[in-house]
Structure 1
Amino acid sequence: MKGLLLRLSAVDSGAETAVRVIAYFDELIARRATLPDLLRATAFLAECVAGIRRVDGAVLRYRPTGEPGGDGPVPPDAVVVDLDGAGRVWLERGGEAGPLDVLVLERLAISAKVLNPVEPPPAAPHLADPALVELVLGEQAADEDRARALTLLGLDTTRPLRVVAVASGAERDAGADAVALVARGKPLGARVAVVGGVAAVVLQPREGPDSVVSTLRETLALRAKDRTLPDTVRVGVGDAVNGLEARHSWLQARLAQRFAAPSRPLIVHEDLGAVTLLAEIPAERLRAQPDVLALNALAESGDLETLEAFCRTGSLRQAAVALHRHHSSVAARLAHVEDALGWSLDDTAGRFRARLALAARRLAESG
């Protein structure tokens, strides 16, 4: 912004100066200035502190030097202009107002509203109309019907979204668990409905779809600590898609959720890659596979958790840390696992076979 900066004291007052002030703020808008840059430029122009109180109560103030001026109250002698219910802007001149102060503030107010439009607060996650959600995620609906359903759900048809599948286990309310999952942390613009016993969560955060996975992982970690969600919850995340393609994200989320396990309760579809091909094998064939049967026997002995930790971390010592056990105890358990399975876990092929068998077993159980 350096080449743009202008000082009122460097120009004469009058109509020509007013035009230059208007052009000054028009250029800031054209350059898509951030709100801090807009305030810095205004403070430099007016040669005094410029401030703004946004509709959410946040206060920004900048000095003519470009340094932050703190978030204190508006001085009683400041020149103030309201933003039509969207906050207020002011200049802290500390004396008689300058002849162009009101014009400067009016242009600051206009620029602030153009560059930082006030958006309604994100809707709290709630159980949405299941008929609308099913219409958005269904197979047979026409595009115009999907678009209307998205609008009725309060979602923007022009912005990408993700769909998340949440399964809670027997005798749990998947919808309630899904709401608990998305109600904490960053707002995700969630709409929740239970479809076929699994909660479908349509997410359209203002920050964009890339914020979904990290927010859900943080929330799951917090919920695990405060025990507000059971360890039976399994979460699958579909890809980011156009709103009219929400069904594709839903099917991906359902598929990813089938790969989730106690050690990895959240699975992202795009992270699975070619492993998704396993889901094309009928569940009954997976259940009858000898390696899967061997893992079922390990589950009864309590050694399956050790194998999962070892495959997840790739290290005996890291597995011991994850399990909160001494590494010698984990080594003994892994030796027992190798005896039961009939193959070694020391080489890459053996570990790959174990990971594949674990994934097949999870699919067999979810199928």
Structure 2
Amino acid sequence: MKGLLLRLSALDADAATAVRVIAHFQALLGSGALDAISLARSTAGLAECAAGLELPDGRTARFGPGGAALPGEPEAVSQGAELGPSGRVWLERPGPPGPFDELILEWMAIAARTLCGGPTPCAPPAPRTPGQPGAPDAADPALMELVLSERESDHDRARALRLLGLAPELPLRMVAVRGAPAVDAGLDAVALLGRAGLEAVVRVTRTGPWGTVLVQPPDPAADSPAPALRAAVADPRRGPDVARDAARRLRVGVGGLVPALAARDSWAQACTALRFAVAGSPREAVADHDALGPVALLADIPAERLAALPEARQLDALAAQPNGDLTIAALAAFCRTGSLRQAAAELHLHHSSVAARLAHVEAALGWRLRDPEHRFHAHLALYARRLGAGPC
């Protein structure tokens, strides 16, 4: 969509704006979570004037361009569209109608009719159970790019957030997802977040090779979603039509909670955390920037310097041996837990198997892993090997 917009912009700015309008409503219709409030609020943000609707079943919604609900009847309808025998949508633009108001109303009416299954009256939506997780919704990539841009003004980023159905005044965090190269990272991210069942507003799109996820919990003091994401990686059966091997290829980086207008800072943290993540073990597959603490500063060291460390090269040589990936996983689990049995339980291996693999590591690198100092060196070498692979 972004490429199409750029090509159209070069030919006709009006055509590009029209495509943006259509893309906005198509994203809403494809989200699977459209309701009267989100439709009216997002339309008002898109049109930059008050917008409202009345559905045949009696539901009404009216919002200003800043995202605030407006009480009462519309003061001055500049243009409207009927939904059938009853029901309507409208804009309240001061002065003459805008050049795209007719197109906006046409698509707003289409979206409103889907809320009722067509021109016939529909029943009110079932009440949402408190604590019920929200499903991840597909986001317009152009809007996500605006939210993460350093060049755009706060006003434009706030407007993009509102169009995505988010509150600019509430904090949020970003999550970066990488899967197999041949798999759409956006689809991987949607499947993962669907299984995680976060109690938050979740928007997902693809940015280059990454699945780009925006998570805005209703509670500003909400904990990190990393544990729920690890559970989702560990049990891909929680979601329909998700292959177990696809889940095992996932790597996830979780950024910190930041003000909504500083989402790009959380995205940078998520990408940094992603460099520490290792596909396979659920515990290692999801890296949380906040949990990394000062270890995250290692990512500032040039990758080529880290890759050139003798210990990192020795770990590469171990990994290249038969079942070397299990040897590296055993080392990582033991360094993290400090317990042979905990490492074995995490890897679903017998503790004697883990002990044998650790003995092989000690013989190859001259470490005594029961010694905390040697174990610390081993952990740093593991980080250096991961970060030496380069950008996420």
Decide: shared fold, TM above 0.5. yes
Change (3 A) 1:186 1:276: closer
Moved more, 194-203 or 346-355: 194-203
Distance in 2 between residues matched to 1:244 and 1:227, nearest whole Å: 36
Asked whether 1:134 is paired with 2:145, we answer yes
What's the secondary structure of 1:202's corresponding residue? strand
**Counterpart amino acid of 1:350?**
H
Unpaired stretches in structure 1, ≥5 consecutive residues? 1-83, 87-115
1:333 alignment counterpart: 357
Quote the offset at 1:290 in angstroms: 0.6
2:303 corresponds to which of 283, 286, 289: 283
2:167 alignment counterpart: 156
Change (3 A) 1:117 1:345: closer
Root-mean-square deviation (CA, aligned residues, Å) is 2.7
* Alpha-carbon displacement from aligned partner over 1:201-255 (angstroms, at most 9, x marks no partner): 0111335542633432332232277745431211111111111011111111111
**Counterpart amino acid of 2:367?**
W
1:190 corresponds to which of 189, 197, 202: 202
Moved more, 250-259 or 341-350: 341-350
Distance in 1 between residues matched to 2:331 and 2:294, nearest whole Å: 22
1:172 alignment counterpart: 183
* Alpha-carbon displacement from aligned partner over 1:165-215 (angstroms, at most 9, x marks no partner): 111132121100000111232443111121231111011133554263343
Larger-Rg structure: 1
Paired residues of 2:233 and 2:250 also in contact (CA < 8 A): no
2:225 alignment counterpart: 212
Paired residues of 2:201 and 2:215 also in contact (CA < 8 A): yes
2:252 alignment counterpart: 235
What's the secondary structure of 1:241's corresponding residue? coil
Unpaired stretches in structure 2, ≥5 consecutive residues? 1-57, 61-126
Moved more, 205-214 or 171-180: 205-214
Paired residues of 2:230 and 2:285 also in contact (CA < 8 A): no
Asked whether 1:248 is paired with 2:248, we answer no
Paired residues of 1:205 and 1:212 also in contact (CA < 8 A): no
Give me the TM-score of the superposition, normalised by structure 1: 0.63
Quote the offset at 1:85 in angstroms: 6.9
1:274 alignment counterpart: 294
1:321 corresponds to which of 326, 341, 345: 345
Paired residues of 1:205 and 1:211 also in contact (CA < 8 A): no
Asked whether 1:258 is paired with 2:275, we answer yes
1:30 alignment counterpart: none
2:388 alignment counterpart: 364
Distance in 2 between residues matched to 1:123 and 1:337, nearest whole Å: 45
Count of residues in correspondence between the two structures: 254
Asked whether 1:353 is paired with 2:377, we answer yes
Give me the TM-score of the superposition, normalised by structure 2: 0.60
Paired residues of 1:139 and 1:247 also in contact (CA < 8 A): yes
Paired residues of 1:124 and 1:183 also in contact (CA < 8 A): yes
Paired residues of 1:169 and 1:232 also in contact (CA < 8 A): yes
**Counterpart amino acid of 1:341?**
L
What's the secondary structure of 1:164's corresponding residue? strand
Change (3 A) 1:169 1:254: same
Distance in 2 between residues matched to 1:133 and 1:275, nearest whole Å: 29
Distance in 1 between residues matched to 2:307 and 2:200, nearest whole Å: 37
* Alpha-carbon displacement from aligned partner over 1:276-332 (angstroms, at most 9, x marks no partner): 111011111111111100000111222212212211221122223333333333222
Identical residues among aligned pairs (%)? 52
